[in-house]
Amino acid sequence: MSARVRIKDIAEKVGVSTALVSYVMNGKEKEKRVGQDIVKKIREAAGELNYQPNRIAQSLRTGSTKTIGLIVADIAIPFFGQLARVIEDEASKNGFTVIIGSSDEDAIKQGSLIDTFSYRQVDGLIIVPSDGTADQIAALVKQGMPLVLMDRYFPELETCHVCLDNYKASYEAVNHLISQGYQQITMIAYRSGMIHMHERIRGYREAMAAANFANYIKVLEVPYSFSRTETENSIEKCINGNKEIDALLFATNSLTTAGLNYINKMGIKVPDEIGIVGYDGNEAFDFFYAPITIVEQPLNEIGTKSVNTLISLMNDPDKIVRFDLSHSLNIRKSSR
């Protein structure tokens, strides 16, 4: 096995001091006013020698592991998988590595992941919090852990968050369906105590009421713990034989998928017999015979703002910023 390349080896190759190489390798070249020509030579030499920094020694010296812990609901769901990729890329640009875990919307599993990431001394956490985990988040805030909540948050806690304006998104989705002639619109959502689901439902209810369709308001809330088959069965009970329903607003990607499976199985014609709007993208929605209209979240903006907000928190722990971002309504055949 070849000997580990040291800072001294780079210094000798370039013909500069080890201190100068150390400044560059630790990202302090601007602070120490190292010339750009020298920085370029040092980095090129490091690449040629295949220099690998000693992260353990570096973390002991700087008090930073240059790692971020990311907890999402389920990395297998396209929305969270795509979001994790954006976060990894943005973190890498800033010199951080991301460790990812899925909570499966389970409070105990989320707590276990937080403990694991804390043990590994991550510099900060980005969390898509599960229902019933406000105490876990409050404990992290009390400990002084840099923390950003993503996709949903707890209104009672003073934390940074990056989320969608869910109320506005649902309101506009319902208005779009109404503009296309649909009136008896049912919403299918998860039963949850979390703010994002409450806001999506509130947007639906208030849009229906504002259009004088309050008598048609109907929300089917499916437990998150339900299997895909159980979810489809619940949707079937809601739709089957109910001639009043002429459109459906699905509150999540996975609920849209379950609903489409039932609708396709029963031969219900979209959009002639029933109009559909869902949340978040899925390649399968594009290949459905009536491509699905979706409330599209700004994935790149959510991911990059989450990372940059977290990094700013590491430098200014008392700074609280909150982003409620705008959606785009991607209108396709399913709602026209």
Residue 297 class from Cβ within 10 Å (0-12 exposed, 13-18 middle, 19+ buried)? buried
- Given a contact cutoff of 8 angstroms between Cβ atoms, the answer to whether 235 and 266 are in contact is no
Give φ, ψ of 122 to 5 degrees. Answer: -65, 155
Residues 184 and 261 in one domain: yes
Based on the fold, state whether residues 171 and 292 are members of the same structural domain: yes
What is the reported pLDDT for 242? Answer: 73
In a domain, 22, yes or no: yes
Is 314 within the bounds of a domain? yes
Domain of residue 177 covers: 166-297+330-335
Domain CATH number, residue 322:
3.40.50.2300
- 211 and 98 inside one domain: no
Residue 59 lies inside a defined structural domain of this protein: no
pTM of the model: 0.81
Q: Which percentage of the chain shows pLDDT scores above 70?
A: 96
Judge if 187 and 82 occupy the same domain.
no
- What CA–CA distance (Å, rounded) separates 305 from 323? 8
Q: What is the CATH number of the domain that holds 17?
A: 1.10.260.40
What's the pLDDT at 198?
Answer: 97
Domain count, the chain: 3
| Mean pLDDT score across all residues of the chain | 90
- Specify if 199 maps to a domain: yes
pLDDT at 25: 78
Query: Is a pLDDT exceeding 50 seen at residue 262?
Result: yes
The answer to whether residue 262 is domain-embedded is: yes
**pLDDT one-digit tens code per residue, 56-73:** 555 545 557 899 999 999
What residue has token string 């959502």?
189
Whether 2 is covered by a domain: the verdict is no
Same domain, 104 and 171: no
Statement: residue 122 has pLDDT above 50: yes
